[in-house]
Amino acid sequence: MSGDVSRPTSSGLVPFLAAPGFVVGFFVTDLWPGIGVELGVVCAALAVAFFLWPRAPRWIAWLAVGVAAGTVALFLLALIQMLNPNATPSSGEGSGSAAPR
């Protein structure tokens, strides 16, 4: 008996399941931060567990990777905005509204 364990591969369209997961993670974290952060952390742990578990279905792992990546992406965008607050116009500049007198 050999010690090798056959692992399911991530071939075909399965890795592309990270894309809808990314959208879900991004928007859930944006609209409901409390739920989104918890969901991102749980999905990150779930992704690691499912990639390490020999007979785990890979589609669940790829969805979880996408959700965790969407959560991280939103936080990175927020961090960039906090570090560079002058990158966007303020409320009266270029927004089409009347300038204050």
pLDDT, position 85: 74
Which long-range contacts does 88-97 make (Cβ < 8 Å, 24+ apart)?
none
Per the CB < 8 A criterion, the answer to whether 36 and 30 are in contact is: yes
3-state secondary structure of 91: coil
Phi and psi at residue 89, to the nearest 5°: -65, 150
pLDDT digits (tens, 9 = 90+) for 74-88: 999 989 888 887 766
pLDDT digits (tens, 9 = 90+) for 45-78: 999 999 999 888 888 999 999 999 999 999 999 8
Instruction: Name the least confident of 10-19, 51-60, 86-95.
Output: 86-95
